[in-house]
Amino acid sequence: MKSDMFFFYQGFHPMFIVDYNSYNIVDINEKAKGLFNMDLSKDNKIEKLIPDINENIRNKIETDYILRNRFVFHSWFDIYLRRINLKNKDYIWIQLIDVSTYKIKEEEANYIAYHDTVTNLPNRRYVDHYVNGIFNNAMAENKNIGFMFIDLDNFKSINDKYGHMAGDQALKIVSNHIKRALRKGDLIARFGGDEFLVVLEDLPKTEIVNFVAERIIEELQRPIILKGKKMNITCSIGIGIFPKDGNDMESIINHADKAMYEAKKLGKNTYKKDY
């Protein structure tokens, strides 16, 4: 055990020895002192550092047990726990391994997977996960959800005339215009190309979707500057309502997509509803 205690005090990672019954910290190594600046005479409760420490832990630390990706003192740690016996008394040996670098990389990869690289808006994969949750809530609370499928009118001509970099810049500007027309908490996502999806939760009246669609069209009346030239970008909007127009995302999107094409036939720069 002497060699183990040398490892404890000289260890590279923050370590604690905690009373098995009271969860009071009875000792910390130099690394933990430097990280947490603790005065054990005043503050010796491990729960303040690691809220996950609880009665259930005792059933799991007969062998090494790991609490992964816990946020402690502005960093992410894997927390290793092991029951030990010193002088016939039981303790918990706790070691913190900083995994912040890996956690940040994981979050960055997750963000890239669920967001559009041009506009930084959520993408279709994000919407798929998001909608499943709000459908369940809406069904339980008997609420409506509005969907707006938005297609920019004649957007291909911008790419053809000014190039794709200019087209990407136009998409960023347009997405910001649409955001300004939305309510707090409404979701806007880019579905690819020049197509956007807006999701409106918690609709006391389905007519609210009409008002938001009108505000989007009004916002897009504001000209944008592209390649030093002033231009207007309009849109056509199709509307679908959950659960009236379908009880799953695919059916509602198809409904809104068809309504959007009807709006195109009406002369563009408008929205189409059928309720």
CA distance 72 to 99: 11
Could you tell me the two tokens for 96? 């913190």
| DSSP β-bridge partners for residue 225 | 230
CA distance 116 to 122: 6
Instruction: Indicate which residue of 116, 151, 153, 194 is catalytic.
Output: 194
| 3-class secondary structure, 147 | strand
194 is catalytic: yes
CA distance 238 to 261: 7
CB-side neighbour CA atoms (13 Å) of 61: 23
Spatial CA neighbour of 155 closest among 257, 230, 236: 236
Residues 160/194, Cβ–Cβ less than 8 Å: no
Q: Which residues does the annotation mark as catalytic?
A: 194
